[in-house]
């Protein structure tokens, strides 16, 4: 099945088959009532909104093209002379499309969105990777020492230690990114094997992959935070 066809199927599943808010007619097509032509509220998660399957590898140019197509359908610019109800729907629809685009455009936000859909909870804890405990301990010591040491000369060895830690953490961060992209490919593979477009009932295997992604994201959040702290601690040395 081509990506294009899948997407259309997906949008139809999410946004067709509802009752028109204005004329109460049954609608079997998405976005506009076939009877009274009124714009219809857009439903669904970011994937459904933009007509994408629950895949984590997204074709960027298709995403951008779809975003433009939907923006042309819903942007408030084109509803200036419609009824207040239609203006309100177009505004909320356009906001939905924009939020969906912002989510799917960013690989990390895409994964967070999927975790939310599968797990029903989007809070990602910030967790240190267990294999880094020793290095983190050393880094904290160095950070403390730099804070309390008066002279630049005395702080110097700690700075060196910090720089080493920085390299280590940056490498580990790259590792987490690699893990996430590998897991994404695994996820997409499982999707193709089962329903093709994905559904709301997930297999144990799929949940397992999502749990792994969640853990990787928690490591990512931790590593990004400490790298920022380390960068701040090292910064004054440059400007002095």
Partner 1 sequence: MVVGIDLGTTNSLIAYMAEGMPRVIPDAKGQGMVPSLVAFLDGVVLVGEAAAQGLIAHPDRTLYAVKRLMGKGVKEVEEDRPFLPFRLSGDTVIRIEVDGQSYTPPEISAIILKTLKTQAEAFLHQPITQAVITVPAYFNDSQRQATKDAGRIAGLEVLRIVNEPTAASLAYGLQKKAEGIIAVYDFGGGTFDISILKIRNGVFEVLSTHGDTHLGGDDVDRSLTVQVLSEIRQRFGADLSSDHVALQRIRLAAEVAKRQLSTQESTQLCLDFPDSKIEYRRSLTRGEFESLIQPLLDRTLACCRHAVDDAHLSSDQIDEVVLVGGSTRMPIVQRSVGAFFSKTPHTELNPDEVVALGAAIQADILGGNITDLLLLDVTPLSLGIETLGGVVSRLIPRNATIPTNAKERFTTSVDGQKSVSIHVVQGERERVADCRSLAKFHLADIDPMPAGIPQIEVTFLIDANGLLNVTAQELRSGKMQSVRVKPTYGLSDAEVESMIAASIEHAHADKTHRTLIEAKNQANAIVQQAQKGLTQGEMLLTQIEKEAIEQCLDGLKTAMRGDDAVAIQEAISQVEQATKPLAEQLMNQTLQARFRNKKVEDL
Neighbours of 218 (CB within 10 A): 18
Burial zone of 111 (CB within 10 Å; 0-12 exposed, 13-18 middle, 19+ buried): buried
d(CA 45, CA 198): 13
Task: Select from 94-102, 117-125, 149-157, 221-229 the region that touches partner 1 (CB under 8 A).
Answer: 94-102
Q: Which of 3, 98, 149, 229 binds partner 1 (CB under 8 A)?
A: 98
Residue whose CB is less far from partner 1, 82 or 149? 82
Listed as own residue / partner, the contacts of 182-185 with beta carbons closer than 8 Å and 24 or more positions apart are: 183/209, 183/212, 183/213, 183/216, 184/56, 184/57, 184/107, 184/111, 184/213, 185/56, 185/57
For residues 173 and 224, the answer to whether their CB atoms sit within 8 Å is yes
CB of 201 to partner 1, least distance (A): 26
Residue 227 binds partner 1, judged by CB under 8 A? no
Residue 80 binds partner 1, judged by CB under 8 A? yes
d(CA 110, CA 183): 13
CB of 97 to partner 1, least distance (A): 9
Residue 41 binds partner 1, judged by CB under 8 A? no
Residues in binding contact with partner 1, number by CB under 8 A: 19
Task: Select from 86-94, 124-132, 199-207, 212-220 the region that touches partner 1 (CB under 8 A).
Answer: 86-94
Residue 81 binds partner 1, judged by CB under 8 A? yes
> Which residues are at the interface with partner 1 (CB under 8 A)?
64, 68, 71-72, 75-78, 80-81, 91-92, 94-96, 98-99, 101-102
């Amino acid at each position: 099945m081509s990506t294009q066809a899948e997407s259309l199927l997906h949008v139809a599943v999410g946004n067709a088959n509802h009752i028109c808010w204005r004329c109460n007619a049954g609608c079997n097509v998405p976005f506009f009532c076939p009877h009274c032509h009124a714009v219809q509220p857009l439903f669904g998660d970011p994937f459904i909104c933009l007509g994408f399957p629950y895949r984590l590898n997204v074709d960027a140019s298709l995403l951008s093209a779809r975003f433009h197509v939907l923006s042309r359908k819903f942007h408030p610019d084109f509803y200036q002379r419609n009824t207040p109800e239609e203006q309100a729907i177009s505004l909320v629809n356009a906001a939905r499309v924009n939020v969906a685009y912002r989510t799917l455009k960013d690989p990390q936000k895409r994964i967070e969105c999927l975790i939310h859909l599968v797990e029903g909870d989007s809070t990602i804890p910030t967790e240190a990777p267990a294999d880094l405990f020793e290095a983190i301990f050393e880094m904290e010591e160095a950070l403390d020492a730099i804070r309390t040491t008066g002279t630049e000369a005395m702080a110097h060895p700690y700075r060196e230690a910090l720089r080493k830690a920085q390299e280590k953490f940056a490498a580990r961060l790259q590792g987490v990114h690699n893990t996430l992209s590998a897991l994404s490919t695994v996820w997409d593979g499982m999707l193709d094997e089962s329903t093709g477009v994905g559904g709301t009932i997930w297999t144990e295997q799929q949940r397992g992959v999502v749990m792994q992604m969640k853990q990787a994201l928690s490591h990512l959040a931790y590593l990004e935070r400490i790298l920022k702290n380390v960068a701040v601690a090292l910064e004054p040395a440059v400007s002095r």
